[in-house]
Amino acid sequence: MREMWAELDPVRIQSTRDRWLAASLIGAVAYHDASAELAADYVASYRLAEAEGVTGPIVRPVVDRARVVTSLSLTGPAALYLEQQAGLDPVEAHRKAGNKVAGAYRRHVQQGGRSLVDLTARADRSVVGWRRVTDGSPCAFCAMLATRGPVYGSESSARSSTNGSRYHDRCGCSAELVYGEWQPNETEQRWIDDYQAAAEEATATEGVRRAPYSRDGVRHDEDTILHRLREQGYR
């Protein structure tokens, strides 16, 4: 994307936009599908290693071209125009918008693999569900979702827990199928403990509020808890 972004002229946005967008869409679709193929290979190998060779369907996703076009348009040419309207010179505005569109592009590419795991979990009767796996240095939101374990993507899982599929730009998370019982590793347990401490503080100081997630039988406001996690040092 950084190479393609150079083709969008900051002083001729309208006349260079369509060609840039067409090339970007072609690349996004190709790499989205490549991401899905890598995930398909991973799922097959994972089943051999973690699920005693259990077999099951592998469901490949179809990229939403309209959504990609809208996202890249907003984070690319539209952002570039707004940066210049805010007073930035064309070169700096081009650099700043380029960082935004690169993050969006990465998310759409990675969605190929992420969606494949999600769709495969929904179709695999042997799987408990899928869980969120971070890059090891998550933001507060991603750490929170990783603490939930395999609550996504199976018929028996909590259908109200839809936030697992929400990946932000530059997000380092991926998705992993879970067969059998999930046990958090040492790092994940620390995130669980941090979340629990933040939730208890939120209950003590803010009271209980309705929210789509409960760990301890009490429903908390996620924004309140995430604020406290960020105070603990999470991004």
Q: pLDDT digits over 48-91, tens only?
A: 988 887 888 999 999 999 999 999 999 999 999 999 999 999 99
Phi, psi (5° rounding) for residue 152?
Answer: -115, 145
Q: pLDDT digits over 81-133, tens only?
A: 999 999 999 999 999 999 999 999 999 999 999 999 999 998 998 888 889 99
Q: pLDDT digits over 4-57, tens only?
A: 999 999 999 999 999 999 999 999 999 999 999 999 999 999 999 888 878 889
CA 59 to each of CA 28, 63, 225: distance values in angstroms, whole numbers, following the listed order: 19, 13, 35
Integer Cα distance of 140 and 173 in angstroms: 12
**pTM attached to this predicted model:** 0.83
Best CA proximity match to 93, nearest among 212, 178, 11? 11
Q: Where are the domains of the chain?
A: 2-126, 133-235
